[in-house]
Structure 1
């Protein structure tokens, strides 16, 4: 089983991005039973998908898990849906700030994750890690990558994929009073569980995880 797992470089004035720190750690700590390929995507609308497509074409993974930072969230967020729109609050690391632009002009309006997101959330909570199903991946580079990844899946039958958002690290949250955070060790532990459940669960659980607004 070949697995591609990606994070992002730092953006928005931050010195680090916990998505890449946690991905690089899980790749270092993975056992020999998994072929785990880690990559750091640029936080750029254009460059991120170009690199992701090259990685997928080169490695032909069975499973792809993209990880990004969602500062302000308190839980590991399993993203349910990617939407076909870029609407950037801030410029990306290349200085590009698309507003109300489709990711793929002829693409579907949205794509759903093919990960067992509710089974993962249950496993994370059982392990004492705050987790949730999220119904929005935003409209910045994370959603851009998530949408592009699921669009790639259309042409690669058998490849499963999805997106995970993680909170700030404590040292990041310390600069923004009141912001929630999570220790890097817990993020790495969460990624290990996400990998295990994604590999072991062919179907998802039927659990209530909706939101009213």
Structure 2
């Protein structure tokens, strides 16, 4: 089994992206699966092009994209990606699409096809905070999750794909005392647990656990 794990470079004025740094720390084999690591640019459209090129080259069995969500306290597997770019800030090449469809021929939304509840449960078993998230936002994280699922549906025989957000690391919140942070080692530990769950539940139904929110 081969899993493509893609993570964004720094953006929004940050000098580091914990998503990328944590992915770099992952073992090359997890639960018997080969882990193929990919750095992707925090750029609308280009991120999808980079992911597509690598995926068609390596032909993975699953895709997991990873991004930073400053302000969250836990690792959060995402449930859904919407077919809409609505950027609050510019991406790393100055693009700021407002109310623009990601794919004109794509579905209004795609649900993650990874076992997101099993992933969250496994992360918590590893001693790392985790919860299912029901919004990946409308920036490049939602964009790449949508691109991954679109790619899976159109060109990769519906292989499981999805996205997980990670928090800031401590050095990023020195001047943001109101923001939570998590150590890079714990983020990498959580991602490892998520990947273990992906392997364990490959071809199986996800866990039926409470994962909803009231708002």
TM-score category (smaller protein)? over 0.9
**Contact persistence 2:115–2:197 (CA under 8 A):** yes
With 167-176 and 19-28 compared, the bigger mean Cα shift is at 19-28
Where does the alignment leave 5 or more consecutive residues of structure 2 unmatched?
none
Change (3 A) 1:32 1:208: closer
Does 2:111 correspond to 1:109? no
Shift of residue 177, structure 1, vs aligned partner: 1.3
Shift of residue 197, structure 1, vs aligned partner: 0.6
Give 2:206's aligned residue: 204
Separation in 2 of the partners of 1:186 and 1:211?
A: 25
Which structure 2 residues correspond to residues 144-159 of structure 1 after superposition, within 5 A? 144-155=143-154, 156-159=156-159
Shift of residue 126, structure 1, vs aligned partner: 2.1
> CA deviation digits over 1:139-183, x for unaligned, max 9?
000000000100111122251111000000000012211100110
Does 2:146 correspond to 1:170? no
**Contact persistence 1:120–1:194 (CA under 8 A):** yes
Give 2:35's aligned residue: 36
**Contact persistence 1:67–1:166 (CA under 8 A):** yes
Separation in 2 of the partners of 1:4 and 1:13?
A: 27
Shift of residue 123, structure 1, vs aligned partner: 1.6
Which structure 2 residues correspond to residues 90-101 of structure 1 after superposition, within 5 A? 90-101=89-100
Q: Number of residues paired by the alignment? A: 212
Separation in 2 of the partners of 1:74 and 1:19?
A: 14
- Say what the alpha-carbon RMSD is for the aligned residues: 1.3
TM-score scaled by structure 1?
0.96
Give 1:23's aligned residue: 23
**Contact persistence 1:27–1:38 (CA under 8 A):** no
TM-score scaled by structure 2?
0.95
Q: 3-state SS of the aligned residue for 2:131?
A: strand
Give 2:74's aligned residue: 75
Separation in 2 of the partners of 1:139 and 1:126?
A: 30
Separation in 2 of the partners of 1:35 and 1:118?
A: 22
Where has structure 1 moved over 4 Å in runs of 4 or more?
A: none
Shift of residue 34, structure 1, vs aligned partner: 3.0
Shift of residue 125, structure 1, vs aligned partner: 1.6
Where does the alignment leave 5 or more consecutive residues of structure 1 unmatched?
none
> CA deviation digits over 1:55-114, x for unaligned, max 9?
111111001110000000000001000000000011000100000001012211100111
Separation in 1 of the partners of 2:30 and 2:137?
A: 33
Separation in 2 of the partners of 1:48 and 1:175?
A: 29
